Homo-oligomer: A and B are copies of this chain.
Amino acid sequence: MDKLNVTQKLIKEHLVEGSLEPGNEIALKVDHILQQDATGTLVMLELEKLGLKKAQTEVAVQYVDHNLLQADFKNADDHAFLQSAAQKYGYWYSRAGNGISHVVHMERFGKPGKLMIGSDSHTCSAGSMGMLAMGSGGLDITTAAAGHPYYIAMPKVLGVELTGELPDWVSAKDIILEMLRRYDVKGGVGYIVEYYGEGLKNLSAWDRHVIANMGAELGATTSVFPSDEQTKICLTQEEREEDWQEIIADNGAEYDKYEQINLNELVPLIATPSSPGNVVPVSEVAGKSISQVVIGSSANPGLHDYWIVSEIVKGKNIPPEVSLDINPSSREKIEDLGKLGAINSLIQAGARYHQTGCMGCIGMGQAPATNTISLRTMPRNFPGRSGTADDQVYLCSPETAAVSALHGKITDPQVYGKSVAYPVFSEPEKASVNRIMLIPPKENGYKTELKKGPNIKSLPDFTPLENNFETPIILKMGDNVSTDEILKAGAEVLPLRSNIEAISRYAYQDIDPLFHESASKAKTAFGGHIVVAGENYAQGSSREHAAIAPRYLGQKAVIAKSYARIGFQNLVNFGIIPFIFENPEDLDQLKENNILIFTDVVKAVKAGETITVYNQENQKGINLFCKLSKHQREILLEGGLINYLKIHS
């Protein structure tokens, strides 16, 4: 493999362990860390517990772009906490109102050749600049901040050749919608998507951001673009020419799989409810009445994407039935739009101009009315994500959105374009570089005191693995228990994410409303509890609170027939032993309130041996084992990943 594609070059450059064979586990050096506020608070609490002095990556940034509405003290308190934590742990801090993480990161930090992980699934957007950027869980970020590499299975590379040139009224969004039309939402799983070919020539770095961003919707590990002249133009706009370097595939480089899109043949596309993979030509759904059009998000964040809307609606009127909502993506974009007169064009036509941030894309405001269609330039239209339970959200390009807004119904912009010239955009030579709300890391920042509002509590301490214990079973469950059942999401529980004591009161509530009480009693009488379950325990969402909250309540072990992959890892990460029945039928003979006697657990875990535990009720033995990698074993023995990192940092 001496001819490398861009992906292979980026991986090779960061390879700490493993080789480039697809499927192999590889460890990668992390250059940049990106956190947003909704996931960042837990990471910061983990760093506090770890006692980290300074994030070990070249660049670490805490953004605030999700929870901007501030309906009560909690969001504002979270912002103050994150700002103090950013100072303490050597992060940059991007203040509430500075813009969407992926957009600001590209403006200020994005650098060809760098590797980034971020606690946001659209971190992959930075692939637009020749970076390898991947979304991941909070503990992965914590681990990287502590200076450890990032582990993944080496993905295959899907090479997508772009040829030709986009027709008028067709834009970058239609390219990624075409990919979604072909591959649907799981077609990218196990792949990194790498774009190449002469079609790239006219795609600006911001166009590429659109495509890389929604690569997440393909299920791809990430997407990668070469770093070329367009990348240089973008960095020059941002007054960072010096950060540019060329990174292109070697002549003759190969891919694991090939795809080709002729841009000349593309038509305006649209994802219909309620999956980004439900893609059809706009013409197929044209004529449907709409109540709302929302412009913005990290899926269409470029100056072009707002300007084109302002040009299309300029001097015209949005009809009374349509709310045209504009979410600017960053302060630079607001200023650029102001200079171009675009804000006034939008306001004159009847648009609502909101603060900058994720906003409607994550259901933070702008929920549409019941039984009406909302057209958005956003990346996702999963059911209910807009905030309206039975929403009908369609995803499309800014051109389709703007032309449809003018007509009050879904409209093919190419049909409209038969009588109207396509506005020609050219990127400005310089952007309105604005870094006022980006606070740099502080010298000796580790001395900073964390600002904790009443809802923000330090993480509890967890002891190393215990060797001998007698513990009651306080809950017996069936198959396929999800993390939603272990710890639900929703408006009541989510705001407690920085308060383990408070959130733990909701553990297993939907299965057993008295769980918290039983766990407290067992903790007092026996020092903890265990639970038993059938197949596929802890399936579903990757939420770490479904492990940390039970552990906080004294959970020493789970015994199940089998586990979901991420749920299993989370148990290990928080020091709960994920035992498996040697004979699955043994589940039948266990009852709630049975007390199990565990002896010499440490030795068994260390050696990977089967252990026999006794049921006090009938003195019968049950054989259990623990299927752990070496790394998982070390983590579990220390009582969890944070303890492990404390020792190994």
Q: Are A73 and B365 in contact (CB under 8 A)?
A: no
Q: Does A367 contact B (CB under 8 A)?
A: yes
Judge if A343 is at the interface, Cβ distance under 8 Å: yes
Inter-chain contact A453/B75, CB cutoff 8 Å? no
CA distance A349 to B391 in the complex (A): 38
Q: Is A643 among interface residues, defined by CB-CB distance under 8 A? A: no
Interface assignment of A389: CB less than 8 Å from any CB of chain B: yes
- Interchain CB contact under 8 A, B388 and A73: yes
- Asked if A424 is an interface residue, CB under 8 A from chain B, the answer is no
Q: Which of A164-172, A210-218, A433-441, A462-470 contacts B (4 or more CB under 8 A)?
A: A433-441
Q: Which residue of B lies closest to A367 (CB)?
A: B70
B370 touches A73 (CB 8 A): yes
**Contact pick for A348, options B97, B335, B388, CB 8 Å:** B335
- Shortest distance between the CB of A38 and any CB in chain B (Å): 15
Q: By the criterion CB–CB under 8 Å, are A339 and B344 in contact?
A: yes
The answer for the CA separation of A335 and B323 in the assembled complex, in Å, is 18
Interface window among A46-54, A77-85, A579-587: A77-85
Write the A364-392 contact mask toward B (1 if CB under 8 angstroms, else 0): 11111111100000000000000111010
Chain B residues lying within 8 Å of A341, measured Cβ to Cβ, are 338
The answer to whether A354 and B355 touch across the interface, beta carbons within 8 angstroms, is: yes
A434, B346: Cα distance in complex, Å = 12
A365-B70, A369-B77, A369-B79 are contacts. A334–B353 as well, Cβ < 8 Å? yes
* Chain B residue nearest in CB terms to A326: B355
- Residues from chain B with a CB closer than 8 A to the CB of A339 are 344
A334 to B337, CA, bound (A): 14
List B contacts of A364 (CB < 8 A). 71
Residue of B nearest to A363 (CB): B71
Contact among B93, B291, B347, B454 for A331, CB-based, below 8 A: B347
A6 close to chain B: CB less than 8 A: no
A557 contacts chain B at the CB level, 8 A cutoff = no
Identity of the chain B residue whose Cβ is nearest the Cβ of A320 in the assembled complex: B439
Is the CB–CB distance between B434 and A348 below 8 Å? yes
Inter-chain contacts of A80 with B (CB < 8 A): 291, 369, 372
Out of B352, B370, B437, name the residue touching A454 (CB < 8 Å): B370
A67 to chain B minimum Cβ distance, whole angstroms, is: 11
Copies in the complex: 2
A34 at the interface (CB under 8 A from B): no
Chain B residues near A353: list those with CB within 8 A. Answer: 334, 353, 355-356
Find the residue from A72, A348, A434 having the highest chain B CB count within 10 A: A72
**Do A352 and B97 have beta carbons less than 8 Å apart?**
yes
> CB of A253 within 8 A of chain B?
no
The answer to whether A73 and B343 touch (CB under 8 A), given A318-B436, A334-B353, A355-B354, is no
List residues of chain B with CB within 8 A of the CB of A389: 72-73
Q: In A77-132, which residues have CB < 8 Å from any B CB?
A: 77, 79-80, 83, 93, 95-97
Chain B residues in 8 Å Cβ range of A16: none
A76 CB within 8 Å of chain B: yes
Which single residue of chain B is at the shortest CB-CB distance from A87? B320
Docked complex Cα distance between A612 and B349 (Å) = 67
Chain B residues closer than 8 Å to A363, beta-carbon distance: 71
Inter-chain CA distance A68–B73, complex, in Å, is 19
**Quick one: closest B residue to A318, CB to CB?**
B436
Q: Which residues of B contact A367 (CB under 8 A)?
A: 70-73, 75-76
Given contacts A97-B323, A388-B72, contact A348 B436 (CB under 8 A): yes
| Least CB separation from A83: chain B residue | B320
16 A-B contacts (beta carbon < 8 Å): A69-B71, A69-B365, A70-B366, A70-B387, A72-B388, A73-B368, A76-B370, A77-B370, A80-B372, A95-B350, A97-B352, A331-B347, A334-B343, A334-B344, A352-B356, A369-B453
Contacts A76-B323, A93-B320, A335-B344 known; 15 new A-B pairs at CB < 8 A: A69-B365, A70-B365, A71-B364, A73-B387, A76-B372, A80-B291, A95-B323, A96-B352, A97-B323, A97-B325, A320-B439, A331-B347, A339-B344, A353-B356, A354-B354
Interface residues of A (CB under 8 A from B): 68-73, 75-77, 79-80, 83, 93, 95-97, 291-292, 317-318, 320, 323, 325, 331, 334-335, 338-339, 341, 343-344, 347-356, 363-372, 387-389, 391, 432, 434, 436-437, 439, 453-454
What are the nearest 3 A-B pairs in CB distance? A97-B352, A76-B369, A73-B388
